[in-house]
Amino acid sequence: MKAGIVTFHEADNFGAVLQAYALQQTLNALGAESSFVSFSDKAKKQETYFPTKGPTALFAQRIVSEGKKREELFRCFREKYMNCSMDYDLHDKASVNNDYDCFIAGSDQIWNFRIPGVDERFFLTFAEDRKKYSYAASFGSEEFPEKGKPWCSEQLNSFQKISVRESSGQQIVKELTGRDAEVSLDPTLLLSKEDWLKIASDPGEKPYYLLFMVKYDPGLHKKAKEKAEADGVELRIVTAAFMPQCGFPAWSQVSVNDWVGLMAHSGGTFTNSFHGTAFSLLFERPVSVAGNEGELAKRNGRLEDLLKKAGLENAMSGLLVEPEPGRVTENLKADREASINYLKDVLADAADS
């Protein structure tokens, strides 16, 4: 059984790469031969132009240089741990369809058209209808843009089975198609703590708190810094994008393996990230979760859904909350089993088609 995964596997983003890795590991464990489907017409990164003289030029050059270091760290992880396809032509449907028995769209925010780079491929428009499935796909919002609803409805109705990550996504699918979608766990939660430790770097024995932000939050930064100072421990900072307030190392000098190791051994993590929260729960580490504001507030539902499933809603209280040993695993057990069974059904269904 050859399964093609269509997701953000090429993104230089910790959560995106690790959810992709986890889904591939899970499918392979279920007996599938899976690979990430890449396309040759994907958006090319634009050349970066900057002034040639003065302090601004030096700063811009530093951003480019540090960005290349970050890209290399993610490239190395993909090469070592992830099986990716050759580059297909998105419009050459015969070639890609001949190489796979089924396609699985997901996970992550692949159906969020507010994100640059999201396009029709994530709705599997290149695939034969009988081969279309999704797993824990997210719309990244409580509602779908009005002008895109007719097109999205048509695309979703061509899927054999639909799985979304949030209950809000289930409601969107129901509204657009009248169909009942499965609500499944993010792929990162399908692997065990022991599975993740196999790829985790050792952060050393010195105690630390961890601050991981997807968008700069001065209040969260202040809270983490004050807690670390009060308890006399180091504060290690990792950011999903370059945030001048945190410096270059927090953005460009942490590998994917380092990030997993930092999450695994943190004495307490302060985060506004979905995957920062997910890994804190996986490793049963103390965590303080901050909701996002402004445009990103639309994504807070996924944090609330995850914490509710894990039985740790008070992690958004502003305090570091430590899960009871075994509690998160037990609370997610039924959802994990249901999610695995959904993937089993997908592979069985595809084999019969």
As separate numbers, helices (DSSP H) first and strands (DSSP E) second, the chain gives: 12, 11
Query: Do 2 and 99 meet the contact criterion of CB atoms below 8 Å apart?
Result: yes
Distance in angstroms (rounded) separating the CA atoms of residues 262 and 266:
6
CATH topology of domain 193-330: Rossmann fold (3.40.50)
Query: Do 290 and 271 meet the contact criterion of CB atoms below 8 Å apart?
Result: yes
Return the percentage of the chain with pLDDT > 90, whole number.
Answer: 78
pLDDT computed for residue 293 by the predictor = 72
Q: Give residue 78's identity as a one-letter amino acid code.
A: R
pLDDT computed for residue 46 by the predictor = 47
Out of 61-70, 100-109, 205-214, 294-303, pick the least confident.
Answer: 294-303
Widest distance between CA atoms in the chain: 65
Residue of 292, 296, 328, 297 lying closest to 313 (CA atoms): 328
* Band of residue 51 on the pLDDT scale cut at 50, 70, 90: low
Checking if the pLDDT of 43 tops 50, the result is: no
Respond yes or no on whether the N-terminal peptide bond of residue 107 is cis (omega within 30° of 0): yes
CATH topology of domain 2-190+334-352: Rossmann fold (3.40.50)
Domain ranges of the chain: 2-190+334-352, 193-330
Query: Do 309 and 331 meet the contact criterion of CB atoms below 8 Å apart?
Result: yes
pLDDT computed for residue 90 by the predictor = 83
pLDDT computed for residue 201 by the predictor = 98
Checking if the pLDDT of 3 tops 60, the result is: yes
The answer to whether the 2-190+334-352 and 193-330 domains have the same CATH topology is yes
* Band of residue 153 on the pLDDT scale cut at 50, 70, 90: very high
- In 30-146, which residue ranges form alpha helices assigned H by DSSP? 54-81, 93-98
What confidence tens digit (pLDDT) does each residue in 83-131 have?
A: 999 899 888 899 999 999 999 998 889 999 888 888 899 999 999 999 9
Please state, in angstroms and as integers, the Cα–Cα distance from residue 29 to each residue in 55, 198, 329, 343, following that order. Answer: 52, 16, 20, 11
What confidence tens digit (pLDDT) does each residue in 225-274 have?
A: 999 999 999 999 999 999 999 999 999 999 999 999 999 999 999 999 99
Residue of 109, 174, 178, 114 lying closest to 147 (CA atoms): 114
- In 110-255, which residue ranges form alpha helices assigned H by DSSP? 149-156, 167-177, 193-197, 218-231, 249-252
